[in-house]
Structures are given as structure tokens and as C-alpha cells.
Structure 1
């Protein structure tokens, strides 16, 4: 399979995605907008949704898109159709952005007192939205929409005609195939270089006669890493120790019958299985192999995306292992970890390449030349440990060993990476086997340099910004896509020196990276000083571009292609440690269609002045050198989903987001944010109402300065109940005194507990919240909604100094951790704390610095409570004298006590005295 076919596969994968469905939804949503649109525009939007639906139905037909695409005319039409759909997406983006701007203007007018519910007010709003769509030169026009509809219609009809041509259909549906490999080694054992440790390990696993288990062993490695040859060598070495050695070319044999038939053919030597069904085939295999010690090698196993085939393949192996004798072995060679897992491998051997000195020996032997230093170590390192690459270069050297010029041996050695096309092409099979949604995600990686260390979260958010990920549960889906690529061995983990998951980076093998550059060359390119010599433009079909900072200014010379880009990543030049310090605003605004803009590797200190003109921007990556005050331009990016600062500099990022005035305009933002409520003249742009429309906020929402909120009605404007993606909510009043940690009263709300109670009641979140933290709350009672948080697993109450009693939490079904600190007036914990429940999942409770707490007693508590509680920590409760409530716990408790002088071993419940539970005094 050549690069042209891979490029075709890339465009096919683009269509088999949620992209078109999402555009249909946006078109219908814009058409049904409550804002007034120019005459005829609503009808055209509905027509666009209908045409997109027709195209989707047409391309969803397996007979149309089910095979590989080898017909050049067909592929070109697909690319043209893709361009037309991109144009449709551009205009729909503009519609949606102006509707969002109209909504923001309406809300601002309403808060300033200029809006209301009267007919005249409604008329003014309609007039405003009419102005948005008719006078704003950056907005969509009816003529643009008509042109998009015309292009889509023409292309659709041309493709229908093409598909109705029998000659074209047969070309389109020609299948890809791979030649099966037999069990005989290519090289004699004495000439088999490398993998000595892995070879001995495999032979040991196969030849252990004392092991009676039936074991499955997997050999995992990239294409060209020597999996099949290693399996062949071991197969030849140990076959005499088995009653029946069986070698099966497993590629494409996913159905249960097909795999069993291949096992039958290899084991028995009979080729015909035409008159057999699964049952009769199983019976014949059982009769032949029953109780025999068998060695089965499944060479070239691939992941099948159809779950039913995966299940059938597992059934076939289960059937085989059921009737073979003890000590039998199954060896599979595969490129993917996921295949090893799915087929139940108990042992795994990873082949990551042979050593440089072994590569040298293999090269010299293949080329039939002496080890005279002609092949230098630097050349060997370019082969990345691939035995197949070494053999490919060796064969070329052997064929040209009489030459000495650029076309002879010297030319090959100087440009080794250009002479391993066979190995690179073998990786195209890995790309071909990816499902379409993973193909388009993986293709984006081609614009990063060789050896790039990928951050999973950052890359996932770029995919989200580009529309590669389904809308529902987007973050989880994107993380799943990345893990699927890891499972297929396309990403390799590189652990940084810092250690820990947060430092994890992943790399792509150089040969695979070169393959995806070839496969995505129509759509993705990189520009550097080395690649600009002959370039005069960016091809109009390129959508994703990386450019080194030294070439950024040159892009203004490329009059074609900049406006079509969806991704722009600015990288450092080789040898440049600091990065570019400023970006010309005139260059940046030429990228009018960009969705992903990553400036992380620059050294800019402020946002470019023209950033607000990038209306489609969804991902913005900034360096850690940028000022924390991003200015007003950022709030014009109404589609912005992700704001990344530095190498995930969380402190700087939090500061940047907190300082954004009018952040409520960023209704698509999917970040965790810290929101500082302000009061008086400072409140404009920092009132709770800014949060109202931000329904997509990320994992953590922290709201500080709640003493500035005057009423329940104002609190409810935050609409915390509609932020279902928020899993962690932090609510904080006051500001700590630098000396004593006391809350500083900045308004009457901080001193008077009554408004605070109403405010907290108005901050009711959605009921699926996982974690809640409340700090410095000055109210005397808990909110009624607290007992309804059915998914809450962690609750922290800190410095709520006027709260008179603990909330009733016993009925919370998922609560695992409860941490209570500095509740200064709570005197007793009793049955009211349980609220009729028994804390079914609570595992740990912390009580700290509760100066008035006298007792945790068992009054009115359930007879059996806290069934899973194991860890209790109590500190600095000087009046506490009774812990009888712990006597209702059913399991052993590990209690730690500090600063509680009245708690002694004699005052503890019986479980502590008889040794069931333990207590440690500090």
C-alpha cells in the first residue's frame, strides 16, 4: 500500500465521523434562533441542514465508503466535497458567533436596566440582531450561504454519477491485502542478529516441560521490528518438543470459522473445509488434537473493530485450548497491546529494536561487506533499531556496492532515511487498520517534529477544538481516543525525570511519524528553514500547519492558503532557546479560520492585538511569559474551549482566567476556573451572572469572594445547576487575615450570617457533583440541597465558624470522605448527623480544631452505622470527652487522636478495648 492510498484513506476517515452530524445540528439551531434573520436566510439554513443530511446518508452507505479508495477521480471528488463542507462550517460558525454576541449584548443591556419584557424592548432586541447580520462585514451573508449550497449540491451530484459507473465502483472497492508469511526462518540461526535476551526468554517459555498450564504468549512490536522472524526462529528451535506444531497466518482471520479453518489446514494438511460448519470443524480438530501438546503460532494478529469478530476469535482460541493437551502453548505476533489483552496473553515480550552494534552486524552481513567502518554509527541510529530497515538498506547497498558517487553506496549511506520506503510503507497498514475517528486524530500528530513529547491532555483538547471528538462527554471520549492509540502501540510512554503520572509524555516512533507525514501530506504540513527554499504558497487543501518562529514572517508572502488553516502551531527554531518575543498582528489576522492556535513555544508577553479577529478560535496555547492580564480581546473569542498556559502552568493559567473581565462571553469554555466575585464599581465583568451561560465549564469550579453577593436571587444567577461537567465545586467567603487566618469582612454580608445562608441556598449545584468544599461560610445553618447530592464522594467544611450543627449527611449514598475543620460552635454530634441514614460508603472522617465539641455520642443514631468506616482522625478538640458514637460502627476502626486531653483508652467504646479497633494517641 503506497502513500497515495494512505492519503485517500485519510479523507475517507474524515467523512466517517460525527463532523457532518454536528454541522446539521448547528444549521438547525441557527435557523430556529429567536433572533430576527434577513429574509430568506432561515430557509437557506434549513436547506443546508437537509443537504448535509443527504450527503451523510450517501456516504454512510458501506457500498460507497466500505473499501479502500484507489480511484484518483473518486479521491479528488472526496477532497472537493470536504472543502465544500469546510466552507459550510465556516459560515455556520459565523452565524453561531453573532447569535452568541447578540445574546451577550441582550444580557448586558438587561443587567444595566435597559432591557425588560415589554413589546418595545423585544422589538429593540430584534432590531439589534438584524443589525448584527446585515451591517457587520465579518458576519455571514445570504449570498455566501447560497454559494455554499450551490457547491455542495453540484459535488453531491457528481459523486452520485461517479458511483453509478460500474468501472469506478470496482476501482473504489478493491480490497487491501497482505501476503501471509510461513513458519520457515528467513535467516539461519547463526545469522540472526539481535534479540538474544528476548529469544532465550521465548524459548524458555515454550520449552518448559514442567509447566502444565496452557499459556498464551504475545510478541508485541511495530512493523519491521522482527516479530515474525523471532517467532520463526523459536518455532524451529522448539517444534520437536511438541506433538503438533501449528503455524497460522492470522491476518484477516477474525471470524471463528475462518481461524479454526486455518488451524485445521496447518495442523492436518487438508485444505478443503467447504463442507464443514463450525460444529463439524470443532469435532474434527478435537479428534486430531485431543490431549496432544500443541504449539500454535498466530502470526500477524490485528485488532478487529467489530466486537462480534473479536468475540468469535476469542471463542476459537477457547475452543482450541479446551481440547489440546497440558503444556500447550499459543504464541501471537501483533503490533497492538490491545490484541494481547483481548486474546488473554499471560506473558508478553516487547520488541523495541535491536542494539546499534547488532544493527551494524546485520547491515554488513546483508550488504555482504566487511565491518570496515563504512557504515557509521550515526547512520545505524537512523534505522531506529528496525531489523527490516537494516535489511532493506543492506540489500540496496549490496545492489550498488560497485558505486561510489551519489547514486552508489555513498548516496544511500548519507540519506538512509530516504531509502527505507519499504519499512515506512509497512506502517501504513497500521494506519489503514485504525478506525476513521482515530485516523484523523493521529494524522494531526504529523505536524509536530520528530521526537516530539506529546502531552495527552493537550493533544486531546486540540482534537476537541478541531471537531474530531463527539460532543457528549467530550473530554472522556478524547482521553479514550488517546488510550486507544497507545493500546495500538502508536504512542510509546516516555517517563520524565520528575516521575508521576502528571509528568507522562508520549513519543511516536520515527518511522511511524514519517508514515503519517506521508499519509496526511495533503492536509497537514510543517514549515521550517529547511523546507521553505522552494515553497511559494500553502496548498489550499492544507488545514493544519506548524511553522518555526524564524519562518513565521515569511508566511505573509504566501497569498494562498492561510485563510483555510484550522491549526497553527508556532515552534522554536533549532538552537533557539527563548522563542520569538512578538508576533506581527497583520500576519495573525490572515489566519481567519484557525481553530487551534498554539504559541506555547514563543516568548510573547501579551496577546497580539488582532487575536479578537480569530472568530473561530477554540484552542489558545500561550507561553508562561505572557502577562496574567490578557486584556479585552480574549472575550471576543466566543468559541474558545481551552486556554493553555506554558507547560500546563496551572498557577499562571488560573491567574490569567481569574483576571478576565466579562468571562461570561466565553460560553463554550471547557476549563476549570477560579472566579473572583467583586463588588461595587469593580463588579462589572466579575458578577456571578457571568457564570450563567457557561454550561461547559470543566472539572473544577472555584468561586471566591462570596461575601460580595447580596442575595439568594443574585446567587442563583450563577446557574450552578446547569454545569453538569463540573465535578468539584469550591465555595469561599471572606479573605484570610495574614496573621490569624480570620475572615476579613469586606461587606455587610460577611458580618451578618442571614444573607450568607440565603446566598449558599441559591448556589445549589447539579446533583451529580463529586466533591464539595465550603470555606469561611459565615452562616448558622446548612443548605437544604446538601442531602440531595447523590453522587457526592468527598465533602470538606472548613472555617465555618458560626455553623451550629453538622448537616444531616447519613443518607448520601456515595460519600466516602468527610473532613470538618474549624467549626467553632458545634457542641455535639448525634443522630441528627445521620439524618435517618447510616453513611453506607463513608471510609474516612476528619474532625479538626472544633473548640466547643463536647461529645460524639450515640443518641438517636442507628443501631448499625458506618459499615465501611475504617479511618477516623480527631485533633485539637480540647473539650471532647465522649466518642460513644463510634460504638455503632460495624468494622475495625483505626483512630488517631491529638490534642484531646479528655479522650483516654478508658473512655473509648468496647471495640477499642477488646482489640477489634485500634487507637493511636499523639
Structure 2
């Protein structure tokens, strides 16, 4: 800091006191624009940067004004702050102690927004003064925001330290982890996932989470702000251990959660985990194809988070020994399925298991699909290699219809050529895989049968809003999909034997319709007397035999037609419709 003062004044600085140095540097920079270049400087201690940062903020007085403006706007939404000069004076001091951090100002404003009592504001200001003396590297403003959280939100936030800094996650993913760890309190008759969703929204509103710029498969993702992640590290330090090249010095008896990083392809000394007898969560966060079988010796384990193990080929064979396991998180890319080689034998014994997003059918004399019978799973589930189910009774034994908490389901056959016997057998299998009526998303890939099951058109699917049928090449007829009352998004791809979508009846909620690589489709509907009342987007690509496209609804805002060479000129249904033809 002394060198910075000397660089500005171009004279030697004899000041020795840190406080005086900070004040002098602030005076030199106040109300001036400046460019700071730090060449060949390395400091890992956050305290160094906080000391150095204070006078720079003094030079950027606008930052302090922004902090007060944010605090003022959220605590006095009607603009009546001038009526209470006492609160304004205290609030200005609080904003100054935020040291230019808008995140700190926002988190404190969330805390103070419903309080107009001066004593409450003075308590916050006093707490900030006390915490400023604690050199733990965490912003006092953020510590106060955490201390004033309800107990259940404190636990849920601290648990999220399991995610590395900058790691994006989905809301449902976090809620499932909280549920697996028993962090969600019972709230009357409300479902745990609904209560957990409210916890998440509350932490998001209080700025402990933020919206991430990344998006996966159209799903909104979130992350912990960097400063908040430092806070999570501080409050969770006694219960978490992060294993990389060296073991943490955290007292073994307190550790409940562990995160493992495989920074290279050399196996980590996994046995180091065994000294943590109370360990309940392990997260493996760098690409690995195989998890050591010794993880099955951690009998208290409730959560095994493998979402970042994109190359995972199999689970440990002794997984069935982990009888307390509630959650196995595995990466599932719905548009790029990477299949597991096998499933651990006896996984159906894990009756406490709530999350298992991928299940692969083995090719032994008897398939293992009946292991799903006693698993009360929730969230998303992809059942792959369904061609290995020989007896449709085994599929029925999976009792998918009784798994009411499964919201997203994929039924996946391997894309290959099938014999007539296998084609017929697949039809019986899929009839036995009737899912629960609360399903929201259904996708069927590479199904080799000639007809889809009647249960797809069942009107009891009152929540189904997305249906994707991909590469069902032998299918010659669609069920009456217009019966589905909430269907908003329908995508058909690679159904080469299909000639039309059937009768234009129903579709009361359909907004998006996609037809791609439908080689033999001649008309998009056989009977075109009706209409699709809410259709907003229609995309048709690689349908070389499509001859007509009539009865387009006036609600269309986007019409995209590509590589449909036999289609005559199209009349745009509405002047507000965006048209793409190639």
C-alpha cells in the first residue's frame, strides 16, 4: 500500500500506521478515475485484499452511494426514507461498512426490509463493528445475514458447501440432496419436495444463491456467489472435509460430509475416509470411470453424489451394502445418453433410496428390471437397454405405475436392427411399463415396436406437459395424443414409417410442435377440420414427402420449415408470425 501511495505522489512515503496509510490512499483517489495494474503480485490471504480494497472503495465513492441506494430502495420501497432521519443515519453507516459490496448491501437489505425500528438497525451496525475485528476472511455483512437466518435455512445453506465455488446446480437437484440428508422439516401435509422448494426460493431471495448464466437442457441453473461460498466454507468448516492431495485437519469425529477431487487419473488414497465414522455424504467431482468398491465400507453413507462424473461406467458392486443410502446422484444428459455397463446386484434392497436417475437392464437369462419394485424413487429416471427384458411380466414387476414421485421418465432401447421376435416382444414390454399419472415429462427412444401403447393417450396424465418420441422407426400409428389435457410440447423425430399424426382432435394446451426426419409423412393430420388453439411454434424439418400443410392456426408466432421439397408455397397464418423456409 505504501508503494501505491509513492507511485501516485512520486515521493517517498514515511507513514507507518496501516489506518493512516489507508486514509491517505483514499484521499488521493477520492473523486478520481484510476486504472490499477498489479504486476507479478500473488496473495492468497483474503484479509490482504480486504485491507487493500478499503481505500480503493474510498476512491470510488459511487460504490458507497450505490450500496446505500440499494439498501434504501429495498427498505423504503415507497421512497419515504427522509421521514426517518434516524434510520437514514444508521443506514448510511451500514452501507459504508459494506465497503462497496453490492451483494453485502443486498443481503442486509433483505434482512432489514420489514423492520423500521432503530434499535434493530443499531443491532446490525453493532454486530458489523464486532465482526470487523474477527480476521476470518469472511465479510461481516454476510456473516450477519447468515446469523439471522432461521435454523432450517442455516443447515441447508451450510450443506451447499459440498458444491465447489462456481459450480452450477439445478433447484430440484439441491432439494433432493436436502431431502436425502433429512434437512427439510415436516410442514403439515405439504410434501417434502414442495417445502424444500420454498427453502430454496427463500435462500435465493436472500441472495445466498444467484441465477447462473449456464443453462442445461432448457433448465434454469443456479450457483452460490463467490463471497457467499466463502461464508459457507466458514460456517461448515467443522463438518466438511475436502480431500485432494492432502487430508484436511478437521477433527474426525465431527466430519459428516466429504468432497473428493480426482485431479489426475491416479487413484486417491480412499482409505483416508474411513477415519470419519459419522460420514454421511461423499461427492466425487472430477471425471472418473469407476468408483472404488471400498466406498461400500462407509455404512453410514446416506448420499453419494456423482453428478460430475460424466464418464462413469458402473457403480461399485457392493453398493447394496449401503443400506442407509438415500441418494445416488448420477449425471443424466437427456440428449446424450452415456450408458452404464451394468447395475450392482441387489440394488433393489436399498429401500430407503429416493434418487437413482439411471437404471440399466442387464442381459442375463433373467433381467434385473424387477429390482425397481421396492424402490420409491422420485425426480427423474432413465431405464436403458430395455431390449434385455425378455419377459414382459418382469417389466410389470417394476411397478412404475406406483412410483408417484417420478416426474421425468425416459424409456430407452439401444439403436440397432431388431428381429421380428424382438419387435413383438418390445410391444409387450412397453405395455407393462405404464408410468404414474403424475408424470410431467416422457421420452421414448429407439423403441422398435410397430405400435405405441394405449396408455400414452390416457387422459389421467393430467400433468404431462412434454412428450418426445425419438427414432421409433417401425411405428406406423400414433395414439390419440390430442386427448392429453396439459400437453404443451410435442416432439417427434425419426419415425420413418409414420405417414401422418392421425386426427386433428383435441390438443387443448399444445404450444410447441416439432416434426423432424419423418421420411414418409405426407400430411401432418389426416382430418384437418379442427385446429390447435394455442399452437405458438411449429418446426418441420427433413420431411421430403410432405405434400400439404393446411389449417395453420392464427396463434402461430414462429413457423420453421426446412428441407420439405414437395411442399407448395405456404400461406402465413398471421402477420405476427415469424417464417423461416429453407
Query: What TM-score bracket applies, with the shorter chain setting the length?
Result: 0.5 to 0.7
Match of 1:357 in 2: none
How far is the alpha carbon of 1:243 from its aligned partner? 12
Is the partner of 1:468 in helix, strand or coil? coil
Of 896, 905, 915, which residue of structure 1 is paired with 2:560?
Answer: 896
Match of 1:628 in 2: 313
Instruction: Structure 1 unaligned segments of length 5 or more: list them.
Output: 1-188, 204-216, 222-226, 232-241, 251-295, 303-332, 344-386, 394-416, 527-543, 737-742
With normalisation by structure 1, the TM-score equals: 0.45
Question: Is the CA contact (8 Å cut-off) linking 1:669 and 1:697 kept in structure 2?
Answer: no
Structure with the higher fraction of residues in helix conformation? 1
Match of 1:638 in 2: 323
Of 246, 257, 278, which residue of structure 1 is paired with 2:83?
Answer: 246
Of 267, 278, 296, which residue of structure 2 is paired with 1:581?
Answer: 267
1:756/1:605 CA distance change after superposition, 3 Å: closer
How far is the alpha carbon of 1:197 from its aligned partner? 1.5
After TM superposition, the structure 1 = structure 2 runs for residues 691-840 of structure 1, keeping only pairs within 5 Å, are 691-699=372-380, 701-736=381-416, 743-745=417-419, 749-751=421-423, 753=424, 755-788=425-458, 789-831=461-503, 833-834=504-505, 837=506, 839-840=507-508
1:793/1:649 CA distance change after superposition, 3 Å: closer
Match of 1:847 in 2: 515
Is the partner of 2:394 in helix, strand or coil? helix
Match of 1:12 in 2: none
Question: Is the CA contact (8 Å cut-off) linking 1:579 and 1:601 kept in structure 2?
Answer: no
1:300/1:473 CA distance change after superposition, 3 Å: farther
What is the CA–CA distance in structure 2 between the aligned matches of 1:849 and 1:653, rounded to whole Å?
Answer: 20
Question: Is the CA contact (8 Å cut-off) linking 1:336 and 1:489 kept in structure 2?
Answer: no
Deviations 1:598-618 (A, max 9, x none): 454799964253x32322211
What is the CA–CA distance in structure 2 between the aligned matches of 1:891 and 1:919, rounded to whole Å?
Answer: 13
After TM superposition, the structure 1 = structure 2 runs for residues 585-664 of structure 1, keeping only pairs within 5 Å, are 585=271, 588-600=273-285, 606-607=291-292, 609=294, 611-621=295-305, 624=309, 628-644=313-329, 655=339, 659-664=343-348
Of 530, 533, 556, which residue of structure 2 is paired with 1:867?
Answer: 533
Question: RCO higher in 1 or 2 (8 Å CA, sep ≥ 6)?
Answer: 1
1:649/1:602 CA distance change after superposition, 3 Å: same
How far is the alpha carbon of 1:776 from its aligned partner? 2.9
After TM superposition, the structure 1 = structure 2 runs for residues 501-512 of structure 1, keeping only pairs within 5 Å, are 505-507=223-225, 509=227
How far is the alpha carbon of 1:765 from its aligned partner? 0.7
Question: Is the CA contact (8 Å cut-off) linking 2:485 and 2:509 kept in structure 1?
Answer: yes
1:877 aligns to 2:543 (yes or no): yes
Match of 2:368 in 1: 687
Question: Is the CA contact (8 Å cut-off) linking 2:554 and 2:574 kept in structure 1?
Answer: no
1:654/1:734 CA distance change after superposition, 3 Å: closer
Match of 1:546 in 2: 241
What is the CA–CA distance in structure 2 between the aligned matches of 1:724 and 1:482, rounded to whole Å?
Answer: 23
How far is the alpha carbon of 1:707 from its aligned partner? 2.7
Question: Is the CA contact (8 Å cut-off) linking 1:757 and 1:780 kept in structure 2?
Answer: yes
How far is the alpha carbon of 1:720 from its aligned partner? 1.4
How far is the alpha carbon of 1:763 from its aligned partner? 0.9
Question: Is the CA contact (8 Å cut-off) linking 2:488 and 2:510 kept in structure 1?
Answer: yes
Question: Is the CA contact (8 Å cut-off) linking 1:427 and 1:512 kept in structure 2?
Answer: no
How far is the alpha carbon of 1:341 from its aligned partner? 8.2
With normalisation by structure 2, the TM-score equals: 0.68
Of 61, 64, 70, which residue of structure 2 is paired with 1:196?
Answer: 61
How far is the alpha carbon of 1:443 from its aligned partner? 4.4
1:676 aligns to 2:360 (yes or no): yes
Question: Is the CA contact (8 Å cut-off) linking 1:734 and 1:744 kept in structure 2?
Answer: no
What is the CA–CA distance in structure 2 between the aligned matches of 1:777 and 1:693, rounded to whole Å?
Answer: 26
1:817/1:298 CA distance change after superposition, 3 Å: farther
Cα RMSD after superposing both structures: 5.1
How far is the alpha carbon of 1:695 from its aligned partner? 1.7
1:467 aligns to 2:304 (yes or no): no
Is the partner of 2:379 in helix, strand or coil? coil
Deviations 1:418-476 (A, max 9, x none): 6559997776643442112112234456899xx95565557655543431124775556
1:657/1:592 CA distance change after superposition, 3 Å: farther
Question: Is the CA contact (8 Å cut-off) linking 1:894 and 1:918 kept in structure 2?
Answer: yes
1:807/1:339 CA distance change after superposition, 3 Å: farther
What is the CA–CA distance in structure 2 between the aligned matches of 1:243 and 1:336, rounded to whole Å?
Answer: 19
Of 660, 665, 673, which residue of structure 1 is paired with 2:349?
Answer: 665
Question: Is the CA contact (8 Å cut-off) linking 1:671 and 1:698 kept in structure 2?
Answer: yes
1:340/1:848 CA distance change after superposition, 3 Å: farther
Question: Is the CA contact (8 Å cut-off) linking 2:108 and 2:145 kept in structure 1?
Answer: no
What is the CA–CA distance in structure 2 between the aligned matches of 1:735 and 1:811, rounded to whole Å?
Answer: 29
What is the CA–CA distance in structure 1 between the aligned matches of 2:572 and 2:215, rounded to whole Å?
Answer: 45
Question: Is the CA contact (8 Å cut-off) linking 1:854 and 1:881 kept in structure 2?
Answer: yes
What is the CA–CA distance in structure 2 between the aligned matches of 1:904 and 1:570, rounded to whole Å?
Answer: 60
What is the CA–CA distance in structure 1 between the aligned matches of 2:556 and 2:310, rounded to whole Å?
Answer: 53
Deviations 1:529-588 (A, max 9, x none): xxxxxxxxxxxxxxx242655664989xx8xx63x753344579xxxx659834364x54
Is the partner of 2:344 in helix, strand or coil? coil
Question: Is the CA contact (8 Å cut-off) linking 1:872 and 1:896 kept in structure 2?
Answer: yes
Question: Is the CA contact (8 Å cut-off) linking 2:561 and 2:580 kept in structure 1?
Answer: yes
Is the partner of 1:855 in helix, strand or coil? coil
What is the CA–CA distance in structure 2 between the aligned matches of 1:654 and 1:495, rounded to whole Å?
Answer: 25
Question: Is the CA contact (8 Å cut-off) linking 1:792 and 1:812 kept in structure 2?
Answer: yes
1:803/1:649 CA distance change after superposition, 3 Å: closer
1:592/1:758 CA distance change after superposition, 3 Å: same
Equivalences, count: 499
1:438 aligns to 2:153 (yes or no): yes
Is the partner of 1:727 in helix, strand or coil? strand
After TM superposition, the structure 1 = structure 2 runs for residues 272-671 of structure 1, keeping only pairs within 5 Å, are 299=91, 335-336=107-108, 338=110, 429-444=144-159, 452-453=165-166, 456=169, 463-470=178-185, 473-474=191-192, 477-478=195-196, 480-490=198-208, 505-507=223-225, 509=227, 513=231, 517=234, 525-526=237-238, 544-546=239-241, 552=247, 562=253, 565-569=255-259, 578=264, 581-583=267-269, 585=271, 588-600=273-285, 606-607=291-292, 609=294, 611-621=295-305, 624=309, 628-644=313-329, 655=339, 659-671=343-355
Question: Is the CA contact (8 Å cut-off) linking 2:498 and 2:521 kept in structure 1?
Answer: yes
